[in-house]
Amino acid sequence: MKRKREIVELLILIGFVAGCHTAQQLQMNLPAFDKEGHRGSRGLMPENTIPAMIKGLDLGVTTLEMDAVITKDQQVILSHEPFFNHEITTKPDGSFVSEKEEKQLNIYQFSFEETQRFDVGQKLHPRFPKQEKLPATKPLLLHVIDSVEAHCKKNNLPLPFYNIETKTQPATDNTYHPAPEIFVDLLMKVIVVKKIGSRTIIQSFDFRTLQVVHKKYPHIKTAALIEEYDKKPLEEQLKALGFTPSIYSPAYSLVTPALVKQCHERGIKIIPWTVNDKPGIEKLQAMGVDGIITDYPNLF
């Protein structure tokens, strides 16, 4: 049975690669200005949950930004950390996860079924008091896509792009997550099965995962995430990446008119994160950025 499953999975991946020429012809362009809901709509709903994605859609986002991690049984679920964050998690016994214990609750050591015993929607988030509180668990990416596509069709909304971050780093390979190639392959299987490749962006601070995507799945859009403390020039970062990504996505404080110009000269879109006030959004729009990632998509 295991061998049969492996063969089926291989055929799916081969089929995707074989269809790349067709995929290139069908590839969809990002909106002229991309309105991205960070973790769905984190300022308003519990992050990385289906209700957060639906809220973002209803507020008019063009791209749903989200984070992916891998469970013990190799399921792709939404979570910003590869563990249960103390700021948002209620344990099965009704008590809150403490900061001291959170990293021991390693999602890569839990089956998907086991992760569903933890609630991530009812604890008051200390930094997002406007969040609506409701029962919620960390959903399968498969279920997120199904729910989003169904909601759009039912309500005659345009289908969104999916900007999916791989939560990996070299120090925690095979501890909190699989190595980059395995991670990307598991993520891509979902994307292929759900036929959303033309509307998918894979983003990461970990350039290794972007390099895997570029090599194995060259027609999937990529976004290079840049931390606020990373002051290296664009050319140096692109050299480290080894190819030209679809999107350069720095912390908003790093954006200058010169940086916007440099990206556009190279044919790269620049979409900064995470901008949570109207004046900040308008300032960056005036600089000519190609989109904004925000916790508050009601500001668009």
- Parallel, antiparallel, or unpaired for β 247-250 and 200-204? unpaired
Quick one: average pLDDT of 27-42?
93
Q: What is the mean pLDDT of the chain?
A: 93
Residue 92 has pLDDT above 90, yes or no: yes
Cα 253 from Cα 269, distance rounded (Å): 17
- Please give the pLDDT value at position 5: 53
pLDDT at 250 over 60: yes
Q: Is the pLDDT of residue 109 over 90?
A: yes
- The predicted-structure confidence for 152-194, as pLDDT tens digits, reads as follows 999 999 999 999 999 999 999 999 999 999 999 999 999 999 9
Q: How confident is the model at residue 199 (pLDDT cuts 50, 70, 90)?
A: very high
pLDDT (0 to 100) of residue 28: 81
Band of residue 20 on the pLDDT scale cut at 50, 70, 90 = very low
Q: What is the pLDDT of residue 149?
A: 98
Q: Please write the tens of the pLDDT for every residue from 119-143.
A: 999 998 999 999 999 999 999 999 9
Q: Where do the structural domains in the chain lie, given as residue ranges? A: 2-83+131-299
d(CA 80, CA 100): 18
pLDDT, residue 18, reads 46
pTM beyond 0.85: the answer is yes
Q: How confident is the model at residue 144 (pLDDT cuts 50, 70, 90)?
A: very high
At 86 the three-state DSSP class reads: coil
225 strand-pairing partners: 249
Per CATH, the homologous superfamily of domain 2-83+131-299 is Phosphatidylinositol (PI) phosphodiesterase (3.20.20.190)
pLDDT at 227: 98
- Neighbour tally for 157: CB within 10 Å: 13
d(CA 104, CA 112): 16
CA nearest 203: which of 10, 33, 39?
A: 39
Per-residue pLDDT tens over the stretch 43-66? 999 999 999 999 999 999 999 999
Q: Which two tokens stand for residue 245?
A: 């990504």
